[in-house]
Amino acid sequence: MKQFLFICALVLFTACEKDEAPKDYSAENDAEIQAYLSENNLDAKKSGTGLYYIIEDQGTGAVPKADDRVKVAYKGYFTDGTVFEENEEGISIPLNYLIRGWVEGLGYMKEGGKGTLIIPAHLAYGDVDKGNIPRGSVIIFDIELIYVNYATENEKDIKAYLEENNIENVTRAYSGLHYKIHNQGTGDKPKETDVVSVTYKGEFLDGKEFDKSTSEVSFDLSRVIKGFSEGISMLNEGGSATLYIPAHLAYGNAGQGSIPPGAVLIFEVELVKIN
């Protein structure tokens, strides 16, 4: 139930295209919204599409873009106050999975922001019944935009991991990579376009191992994930380090194989030589 509205959003619009003459609820929806605002003494802005929105807290982080992934907590209800869906913990989902009113409304916020979206049917489910939402319904959402993509949450997770495991002397690069150099090494320092031989072990924050070299492995640093390339480039030949790599420097919103979307990766690495 928690994901029903969003995951079905794209299916809905495909279905609507098959209806040659769907009913237009715009006028009656707008009258219903204005009555709701008046009855509840609310001051909302109206966009050119017919969306009404109230920004309680603008937020201070990134503004979501169409290809971003967002984590949102929300409560959805009708103008009579009946709640049809709620998720207090938050759900992480691609922005382009959401109904049009959500996509537009979240664009008025920044990461950490809160607000209310009052969405007419043509920006939601139109002339189609959707679960317990009747066709033509105005739907209202109280929303908290917890994060855009994973950078903020990954940062918190890495810091919590370091604290819980009493790991000190970890440096944070401007990119968001965290690293701890155990041995700087004494040889040459690689460039991010070099081919290098390394040994490594990769695991998640929960300690589960996802990859490990059994011998020296050669990599072209220009063809590996950004966090790995950046971390190796901080060492000299013979050096070793632990890299704590956030998703935006690894496999991002998509994930890869056994690595889920948004995962923080930890690598124990040794730079054996520059080839």
Residue numbers annotated as active site: 200, 210-211, 225, 251, 267
Q: 111, 149 in Cβ contact below 8 A?
A: no
At position 9, the amino acid (one-letter code) is A
Whether the Cβ atoms of residue 108 and residue 115 lie closer than 8 Å to each other: yes
What are the tokens at 112?
Answer: 């950490």
The two tokens of residue 153 are 């949450």
Rounded Cα gap, residues 262 and 248, in angstroms:
8
Q: Which of 13, 12, 3 is nearest to 130 (CA)?
A: 12
DSSP, residue by residue, 100-159: HHHHHHHTT--TT-EEEEEE-GGGTTTTS-BTTB-TT--EEEEEEEEEESSHHHHHHHHH
Distance CA 245, CA 248 (A): 8
